[in-house]
Amino acid sequence: MSGKVFKLQDKQAAAVEPEDSVWLSASAGTGKTQVLSARVLRLLLTEGVAPEQILCLTFTKAGAAEMATRVNEVLANWVRMPDEQLGADLANIGSDIRPETVQRARTLFASVLDCPGGGLRIDTIHAFAQWLLSAFPEEAGLIPGTRPMEDRDRDLLAGRVLRELLVEWQDNDPAAVEALEMLSLRMGPDGARSWLMRCALAREAWFGPAAWQPPMQDRVKRLIGLPADATASELAHDCVDGTHGVDLVRKVMWKYDGWGTKSGQKFAGLIGDWLLLSPEERFAQSGAFLGQLYNDRGLLKYQSSLEKKDDGVTALAGELYDWLTGVADQAALLALVDIITPALEIGRKFAIAWDEAKKREGLVDFDDLIRRAAKLLMNKDMSAWIRYKLDRQFDHILVDEAQDTNAQQWAIIDALTDDFFSGAGQKGDRQRTIFVVGDYKQAIFGFQGTSPQNFARAQARYAELLRVRRENALAERRNLSAHTLQELGLGRSYRTAQPILDVVDAVIDAIGHEAIGLSRTPEPHRGFQRPGLVTLWQPVPGRPEDEGEEDGPEIGVSETERRMADKIAEQVKAWLDRGYPLVKDEKNPRNATPGDIMVLVRKRRELAGLIVARLHAAGVRVAGVDRLRLGAPLAVKDLMAALRFAAQPRDDLSLACLLVSPIFGWSQEQLLEHGYRPKGRPLWDHLRDGDAPLVAQTVEALRDLLARADFEPPQALLHWMLVGPWKARGKLVARLGREANDPIDELLNAALQFSANSTPSLQGFIRWFDAGEGELKREAEGGEDQVRVMTVHGSKGLQAPIVILADACGDPDASRTGGLSLEEELPGATEGLELPLPPLAKEERVGRVSQAEEAAKAAERQEHWRLLYVAMTRAEEALFVGGALGKREKEPAEDSWYARLQPLFGEDWLDDPIWGARMQRGELPPPVEQRSQADLALPIVLPDWATRPIGEEPRPPRPLAPSASAEEQGADPPLAAEQAAIAARRGVLIHALLERLPDVPRDMRASGGRAWLERHGSDLSPAEREEMLERALAVLDVPEWRELFGPDGLAEVPLAATVGDQVIAGTADRLLVTPERVLVADFKTARRPPTRLDDVPQSTLSQMGAYAAALSVIYPGRAIEAAVLYTQTPQLIAIPADMLAANKPHLRTSQGKLSTPVR
C-alpha cells in the first residue's frame, strides 16, 4: 500500500525521538529508510518545528527520491484519513494521539507544500551544494550562470588547457616540456593526462598556506623520507672502504672464492668488480648488485652449497642482505626525487591552469561544489546572511549513508551544525538535533575518496560535542533537556531470511572482523525465520581450446565468462519456466517472476552487458545495465557512423561500418563485391558510379542524409534516421534486441544536451561525443518486471528475492583502483596534506612509497570484503554464487569471494544439470501450486496502430502570397543592372509618396512631398525628384480616386484569411472599407503600363483575385471591388467582379508537393 506506516520495533522507536540527537548504526535490511522517514514525521509533528527547519542529506538520488516519496505519501494520506486509522499511524511511529496532534498531522501536507522552496529539503549532498551555490554565486566567488561540468566538458576542457600549456612551454619553459616527455614515456599519453588530472583534483596541495611551490626538490626528499640536504655523495658514505657494510661484502667474496668452483669464482669476480667502483658508483649500482647476489627469497645465490662448506655463511648472508637492502632503498629513493619532482611541478602548473580555465568557462566539478559550499557556510558572517536571504534556519539535520561521506562533505555538515551544540546548545526556545545513520560494514565507495574512518571520527566528534553541551547545560541550569548523543544500533533484518544471514555471519567469522575494518566482532544478524537458500555453483572451468580467444565476438570477456553468461541465462530461464517458490509473504506464496531476480558483478566490465544479451537471447525480460558507456553499444556505434559519414562523406571506414550495420544490412560479401575499387578512390565516389539495384537504393538513401546534414541539428538528424524513411530504430532493435533502445535514447539525450549548451553543429557534436566515454548512471529501482543486472555498488539500497553473484572467482589483486599518495605531515595540523605520486615501477616503490602501497592494498582489501557483505545482504530468500576461472587457473584466487565461501559449505557436492555440481546451505521452500511463468505467458496481440509506421506529420497549409504571384515577367524588356536598380529605386519612392501624401492637407502636399524627397532621395537630381512628385500628385488629384485616397482610405494594410484549405496572406497598398463595399488597390510601377483591361498581365489578375477572395471572407456580405494603379501613366484600371471570380486561387499543387524538401 502506498504511504503505509509500519510499526517501529525496539531501537527503531528510540531512534526517532525528535528531541534526541542520534547516531544510528544500521546493518543491511534493518529498515533505516523507514526510520529516517519516521524521524522526519515525528519532527514535523513536534510543536514549533517548521518544514523549512529540516534538512535531509542522502548519498544517492534514488535514496533522496525514496525518502521524499515516502514522507509525502504519508502526509497526503493523513489529510483525509479516518481518525482511528490516523491514530494508529501516529502510534506506529511512537507519537502521542492527542486531538491537537491529530489535527496537526492533517495540516502537515499543506505546510510542507507552502514552505519556502516548495517542500522539504531532501537532497544528495552534491545537490544541496549546487542549490546553495546557485542561490549565492557572487558570495561563493562564482560568476552567475556557473554550472556543473559533465564528463565530456571536463575532457574537452582538460585537452584545451594542456594544448595551451604546451604552446606556452615550447617557447618559455623547456624544463616543463622535458618533464611531460618523461611522463609520457613512462606512462603513455593517456597515463600522462590521467596524472595531470589527478594533480588538478589534489587542489589542497597547490592552494592555501601549505601549498607546494617550486623549487620542490628538498620538500620531495622530506616527503619520501630523505633528509632535505641529502645528496648522492653523502648517502654513499656507507659504501666507503673500511665501513662495516663494505667489509661484509669482502667477507662474502672470500666465501665464494674459497668455495673452489667455477660458480664461486664467477660470483667472487662479480663482487670484486663492484669493489673496484668508487663509493658513489657503488651506491648508485647497489640495487642491481643486490639483484645479482640474492634471489627473490632473500638468499645468496648458491647459499645452500656455501653453507655445506661454512656454517657461518647463513648469518653473514643475512646481515649483508639487510645492509645492502637499506643502501639500495636509499639509492632508489634518491632516484625517485628526479622522477617525482618534475612530475609534481608540471602537475602544479596544470592544476593552476585548470582552475583558471574552469572559472573562465563558468564550470565547477563535484569537488568544487562541496569545497565552495563548505567554505561559504564556514564564513560566520556570510552564513547568517545566507540564512536571512533563504528564510531558512536548519535546526534538524538528518544524514543518510554517512559511512560513504568524505572529509569535505563532513565539512559542510560540520558548518551547518557549528552552533548547534555550543554553550548549552539551545537557540531561543528551539531544540536543535542531528541524526546520522550509516553502517561501517557497507562503506564501499573508497574509489570516490570516501573512507569509513571519517564515519568513526565524526561519531567521536559529535559524541564529545554533545557531552560538553550536556555538562554546560547542567552547570548553567538551563536547557536541561539537552541530551548526550544517543548511539544506537539496528541488527534485526526485515529483508533477508535467517539461513542467508547465518552464512553472512560465518563469512565475517572466517575472514575476521579486522579484515572488514571493524574494531570488534559485530553482533550476529537476526532475520526472518523462514526458508532461505545459499547455493555455490561449481566454477566454469577453462579449456585448452580457450587459448587465444580473449578477443572473441564480445571483446573484453574470456571464453569461460561467455559460457558462464550462457549458464546464468539458462538457469534463470529454467526458474521462470519451472517455477521458483518465494515465501516471504507467507500468506501468499508465489513463483518468481523476472523482476524478482538480480544479477550482481564486482566491477564495471563488459561482463554485465554480456549477461544482459544472453538473457535477452533466452527470451527473459531483462533491464539494461546500471552503468552505460554511451560509446560502447553497437547501436550507438552504428548511428555515430552515419553521423560521421554525413560530416565527411569520404570517411571510408564510417561508411563501410554503416553499410554492414543493421540500418542497411549489407553482408561482408556484398561490401566486398560492391566496394572493391582502385586504390585511393573514396568508397562514396565509387558507390555513386555503381548501377546495381542495391547500390542505387543505398546511394539514394545516403543522399537524403547528406541533403539534411548541413541544415539540421544532430538530434534532428538522429530522429530522422530512427523514425523516418530509414526506420533505423526498428532495424537496430530487431538485430540487437530490446536492450538497444536504452543506448539509442541516451544518444538522443546527449545530442539534445549538446545542442542546449553549444552551437548545434554536426562536426561539433562528433568532436564533443569523442571527447570522453560519457558514462551514464541509471537508477534501477525494480519498478518493471525485468531481471536487473548491475554492479554491487549500483545495487546499494536495492534488494531482490533472488540474487546471483556472477563473478565471485575474481582476484582482488588483479587490478588496483587508484594511484598512490603520500601524506605530508604539517606542523601544528591535525591532518596531513595528501600528495599524489606518479605511477612507479615495482623496483621504484621502496621506503615510504612501499609502505603507502601496502596501506592502500590493505584498505582496498577491506573494501573488497565489505563489498561481499553488501552483495550478500541484497538477497531476501535465495543467494547463488558462481564464477568463471581464468584460462590457466585450476581453482579460484585465494582471496576471491568464492574461495572464502567454499569452506563454509563442507565437501558434499550435489549434481546440477546446468552447472555440473553445486553445494548449498539452507532449504528450498516447498513448490507453489501455481502455473509456471511459461504457462502464464499469453500471446500479446498488439492493435494495428501499434505496428503501423508513423506517417509524415501533417504540415499546415503554406500561405499564398498574392503579390508573389504578380511578378510581371515579360512586361518590360530586361534592363542592365544599373538601370534596373535606378528603376526599382524610383518605384519605391513613388510608392512611398502615395502612402504618405493622402494624410497631408491638400494645399501642403507639394511642399511636404518635395521636402520628403530631399531627405530620402538626396542622391537624385532636382529634376528627377520633381518628376516623381508630379506623378504622385497627379494620381491623388484624379476626382474618381479621391475617396480611395481620402481620410477613410487605409495604406499598407496586412490581409490574412483562409479560403477553403488555403491560407492567403499579403499587404494591400490601399484599402477603402465602407458599410456597402470594399475597394482594394495595388500600385504598379511598370515602365510600360497597359492602357486597357485586356492588357493587364495574368499574374496581376491572379493577385487581385486572391485579394478579393480574402476580403470576401474578412468582410462577408459586402461588394468587393479591385483596381490596379499604374503610377507611370498614371491610370487606375478597375477589374470587374466576374474576372475577379474567375481568378480566385485554387489549390492546384498538392500538399505533398508543397512540403517536398529541396535536395
Q: Which residues fall in the annotated binding site for ATP?
A: 26-33
**Beta strands 800-805 and 875-881: pairing type?**
parallel
Residue 424 shares a structural domain with residue 285: no
pLDDT digits (tens, 9 = 90+) for 240-287: 999 999 999 999 999 999 898 999 999 999 999 999 999 999 999 999
Res 179: pLDDT: 94
Instruction: Indicate which CATH number applies to the domain containing 590.
Output: 3.40.50.300
Distance of alpha carbon 486 from alpha carbon 471, whole angstroms: 15
Distance of alpha carbon 214 from alpha carbon 343, whole angstroms: 12
Residue 614 shares a structural domain with residue 734: no
Question: What does the buried/exposed string (b/e) look like for 1053-1070 if buried means 16 or more CB atoms within 10 Å of the residue's CB?
Answer: eebebebeebbbbbbbbb
Q: Residue 341 is placed in which grid cell?
A: 619532482
Q: Residue 643 is placed in which grid cell?
A: 553521423
Residue 757 shares a structural domain with residue 873: no
Distance of alpha carbon 148 from alpha carbon 425, whole angstroms: 36
Q: Which of 473, 490, 507 is the last residue of a domain?
A: 490
- Whether residue 433 contacts residue 20, with contact meaning beta carbons closer than 8 Å, is answered with yes
Distance of alpha carbon 697 from alpha carbon 693, whole angstroms: 6
Residue 983 shares a structural domain with residue 1122: yes
How far, in whole angstroms, is CA 353 from its chain's centroid?
24
Distance of alpha carbon 1030 from alpha carbon 989, whole angstroms: 12
- How many angstroms separate the Cα of 772 from the Cα of each of 156, 159, 767, 1077? 8, 11, 10, 70
Res 1039: pLDDT: 78
Q: Residue 803 is placed in which grid cell?
A: 540474487
- How many angstroms separate the Cα of 21 from the Cα of each of 460, 475, 481, 771, 989? 13, 20, 12, 47, 85
Question: 1148 lies in a domain?
Answer: yes
Q: Residue 47 is placed in which grid cell?
A: 510543536
Return the SS3 of 720.
helix
Which residue has 647476489 as its cell numbers? 293
Residues of the chain with confidence (pLDDT) below 50: 1, 424-426, 428, 549-552, 932-933, 936, 938, 966-971, 1147-1159
Beta-carbon neighbour count of residue 543 at 10 Å? 12
Res 1041: pLDDT: 76
Predicted TM-score of the model (pTM):
0.76
- Whether residue 411 contacts residue 401, with contact meaning beta carbons closer than 8 Å, is answered with no
**Closest among 796, 808, 813, 811 to 901, alpha carbons compared:** 808
Sign of the torsion angle spanned by Cα atoms 315, 320, 325, 327: positive
Residue 608 shares a structural domain with residue 692: no
Bond before 1130 cis per omega within 30 degrees: yes
In sequence order, which residues have a C-beta less than 8 Å from that of residue 1087 and are 6 or more positions away?
972, 983, 1128
Residue 823's DSSP bridge partners are 834
Question: 472 lies in a domain?
Answer: yes
Burial of 280 (0-12, 13-18, 19+ CB in 10 A): middle
Distance of alpha carbon 609 from alpha carbon 573, whole angstroms: 17
Q: Residue 1045 is placed in which grid cell?
A: 485616397
Instruction: Indicate which CATH number applies to the domain containing 675.
Output: 1.10.486.10
Q: Residue 169 is placed in which grid cell?
A: 612551454
Res 866: pLDDT: 95
Question: What does the buried/exposed string (b/e) look like for 926-945 if buried means 16 or more CB atoms within 10 Å of the residue's CB?
Answer: eebeeeebeeeeeeeeeeee
Question: 507 lies in a domain?
Answer: no
Residue 82 shares a structural domain with residue 24: yes
Question: 849 lies in a domain?
Answer: yes
Return the SS3 of 139.
coil
Distance of alpha carbon 461 from alpha carbon 420, whole angstroms: 13
- Whether residue 467 contacts residue 3, with contact meaning beta carbons closer than 8 Å, is answered with no
**Closest among 460, 536, 479 to 503, alpha carbons compared:** 536
- Whether residue 662 contacts residue 735, with contact meaning beta carbons closer than 8 Å, is answered with yes
Res 949: pLDDT: 62
Q: Which of 430, 462, 490 is the last residue of a domain?
A: 490
Res 478: pLDDT: 66
Residue 813 shares a structural domain with residue 898: yes
Q: Which long-range contacts (CB under 8 A, 24 or more apart) does 1058-1063 make?
A: 1058/957, 1058/1113, 1059/1109, 1059/1110, 1059/1113, 1059/1144, 1059/1145, 1060/1147, 1061/957, 1061/1147, 1062/957, 1062/960, 1062/1145, 1062/1147, 1063/956, 1063/957, 1063/958, 1063/959, 1063/960
CA angle 490-494-497, nearest 5°?
Answer: 115
Q: What sections of 260-300 are H helices per DSSP?
A: 262-275, 279-284, 286-293
- How many angstroms separate the Cα of 375 from the Cα of each of 58, 132, 379, 422, 777? 20, 12, 6, 20, 29
pLDDT digits (tens, 9 = 90+) for 496-552: 999 999 999 999 999 999 999 888 888 899 988 899 999 999 999 988 776 554 444
- How many angstroms separate the Cα of 629 from the Cα of each of 194, 634, 638, 749? 18, 11, 15, 14
Q: Which of 777, 806, 828 is the last residue of a domain?
A: 777
Q: What 3 state SS string does 186-231 have? A: HHHHHHHHHHHHHHHHCHHHCCCCCCCCCCCHHHHHHHHCCCCCCC
Question: What total of structural domains would you count in the chain?
Answer: 6
Question: 425 lies in a domain?
Answer: yes
Residue 740 shares a structural domain with residue 809: no
In sequence order, which residues have a C-beta less than 8 Å from that of residue 230 and are 6 or more positions away?
221, 334
- Whether residue 444 contacts residue 404, with contact meaning beta carbons closer than 8 Å, is answered with yes
Residue 559 shares a structural domain with residue 670: no
Res 683: pLDDT: 95
Q: Which domain holds residue 436?
A: 11-146+366-490
CA angle 224-228-229, nearest 5°?
Answer: 135
Residue 587 shares a structural domain with residue 684: no
Q: What 3 state SS string does 976-1004 have? A: CHHHHHHHHHHHHHHHHHHHHHHHCCHHH
Residue 1119's DSSP bridge partners are 1077
Q: Which residues fall in the annotated binding site?
A: 26-33
Question: 528 lies in a domain?
Answer: no
- Whether residue 11 contacts residue 489, with contact meaning beta carbons closer than 8 Å, is answered with yes
Question: 83 lies in a domain?
Answer: yes
Amino acid in position 212? W
- How many angstroms separate the Cα of 647 from the Cα of each of 688, 708, 743, 767, 998? 17, 11, 22, 11, 57
Residue 1021 shares a structural domain with residue 1144: yes
Question: 1092 lies in a domain?
Answer: yes
Instruction: Indicate which CATH number applies to the domain containing 1079.
Output: 3.90.320.10
In sequence order, which residues have a C-beta less than 8 Å from that of residue 359 and are 6 or more positions away?
142, 143
Distance of alpha carbon 384 from alpha carbon 336, whole angstroms: 49
Amino acid in position 596? D
Residue 639 shares a structural domain with residue 744: yes
Res 695: pLDDT: 93
Q: Residue 949 is placed in which grid cell?
A: 509506421
